[in-house]
Structures are given as C-alpha cells and as structure tokens.
Amino acid sequence: MPHSILFLCNPAMRSLALLDALPDEVNLTVTLDAEVIAAKAPEADVLVLNTDDQELIRLAVTGATRVKWIHSLMAGLEKKLIPEIREIAAPMTNARGVYAESLGEFVLAACLYFAKDFARMRRQQAEHRWEQFEVSIVAGKTMVILGYGEIGRACAKRAAAMGMKVLGIRRRPELSYGDQYVERVVAFDDRAAWIPEADYLVLAAPSTPETRGLVGVEEIASMKPDSVLINVGRGPVVEEAALVLALREKRILGAALDVFDEEPLPAGHAFYDLDNVLLSPHCADMTPEWLEDSMRFFIGNYGRFRAGAVLENVVNKELGY
C-alpha cells in the first residue's frame, strides 16, 4: 500500500523539487491551508513539518489517526513539539546535525573576529586612519563547548585544527568518550569548573527546561575578562539580561550571537548598540543549500522508513531534542 505524506510547508518552497526523488507511488500533499490539512490528515502515514504555526500542526496531528512518523525539516523543536505530538506513539525526527558544518565555520569566524579585532580594522579603514595595534592568535586558546552534540563537534573539529584546546559539556558525557577533538567532557552540573577556563565559550545546546538559563549571572561572572561568548544553540540557554550587563560593563571581551530570546530581535534591543557584539540575525547556517540539505536528509530517512529500518535523528520527546 503506498504511503501518504502530508507536508506542512509553503508550496512555493524551491527545495520541494527534490521530492521528485520519492517513489512514484507516494501520495504527496504540500500545503499550509487548514481545510486541505483537515481533509488530508486522516490518510497521512507521514507528517513533515516546516512551519511553527501550532494551530496548523495541532490540526494535522489530531486528524492524522494513522500517522506512523513525524519529521521536522528544522532542528529546533521548541515550537513544533506540542503536547499532541508528545502524547502519540509515532516517532518524531528532526534535522539535527544537518547544519553543523556551517555553524562550526561561524564559530571559528567569530573566534578570529575578536582575536584579530576586525571591527577595529574596519573602523580605522572607514576613518582613513593608519594605527597599528596588537592582535591575538587562537592557537593555544581554550574553547569550552556547552552542548557537545553534532554542532559542538563541528566546532571542536575546527578549533582543534587551529591548535586550540577543547573542553566539552553535555548532558551525557559518556557519549563523547574517545572523541578525537575534545580533551575532556563533563556533565552540565560540572560546568562551573569549565567555564572559567574558556577563552571562547560556545553555546550549542537546544532549548529545553534543563538547558534554560544554564549560563546565568554566576557563570558569566566567572568568565575571563578577555573571553568571548558565542551562541549558536538557542537564545534561552543564556540569561540575556546578565549577558547585556556584562557586555556593557566590559566584563568580558565580547559576544557573537546567532540566536536570541525573541526573534526577530526587537529594533530597540541593547545588542544592536553594543560595539563588542557580533550579531547574526539567526542566519549563520543559511547557506544557499541549507533547505536542500534538509530535504535530502528527509528523503534519505524516508528510504529507511519505507524499508522498515531504524530512523536517524529520533527525538526524545521528553527531553525535547
């Protein structure tokens, strides 16, 4: 019996052309129309989510009484993992790790941005001013990665190649034992020992009740005066108000931020005016191929689903990632 796939997605999305690789017998519906979702959900074997509209997601999930698998084209699940998905038996997967390489490059770029003081170079160039100054090197520095999963490992790989020491923090440190890029990994509860060691503190953790506020007033106060905080995980992992205050008072060298508590970042937010912040509007992983890469991952996982094999990136619904 052919599978029916209900895609909650803008039908004009360019990467949908890749779905031509699915078997001809697949019954595919791509829509964000509530009436179409309500009509097609009861026959759906697979739900694919590329929207944060919780009402549409709820409509699809509650109507999809025979659904066997739910997939998110994005890695972040805080707006998609609604109670109705948590309560059903169908497994959920996501795009975890698909964007790790581009985020690893952003983190390395952020390290170099502050080490070489590119902001000062650009200011002096704009002012037609020739004024030599000292720069730093990243070799020999310590990168501490909070959230040592696929993204964290991509950061560690690049940091190690640049001669940096890498320390990791994750919920289950044993999953990284023997990793060639990280010297040692400890649990979240032991982060107080690692954070003061960081020249570059990289946050690559998902947003869950366990990770919310992991880097707060005490953790930021323990950072070196010349250290840099880099967040490519989720905004709520760091206490934003505490970070703003530390940056204003120059208690740390700077921050490179790709994610925030509220997105889009409000026009009057303090981060816009801080000269020691490198601000990315949550696009550090938006390469020309980012949606195509996610679609290819889904197609590969559908092949596993069709063959009855184990799916990749199965989400722990209780933990939220």
Q: Which residues are designated catalytic?
A: 234, 263, 282
Q: What is the dihedral of CA 293, 295, 296, 297, to 10 degrees?
A: 90
The answer to whether residues 205 and 232 touch, using CB atoms and an 8 Å cutoff, is: no
User: What is the C-alpha to C-alpha distance for residues 44 and 41, in angstroms, rounded to an integer?
Assistant: 5
DSSP secondary structure string for all residues of 132-187:
-------TT-EEEEESTTHHHHHHHHHHHHTT-EEEEE-S-GGGGTT-SS-SEEE-
Judging by beta carbons within 10 Å of its beta carbon (0-12, 13-18, 19+), is residue 292 exposed, middle or buried? Answer: middle
Residue 35 CB-half CA count within 13 A: 0
Phi, psi of 244 (to 5 degrees): -60, -45
CA-wise closest residue to 142 among 224, 227, 200 = 200
Q: Which amino acid is at 10?
A: N
Q: Look at phi and psi of residue 118 and say left if phi exceeds 0, alpha if psi is from -120 to 50, else beta.
A: alpha
**Tokens 């890498």 sit at which residue?**
166
**Tokens 């550090």 sit at which residue?**
284
Phi, psi of 203 (to 5 degrees): -105, 120
Instruction: Read off the tokens for 231.
Output: 């967040």
Instruction: Read off the tokens for 25.
Output: 């017998």
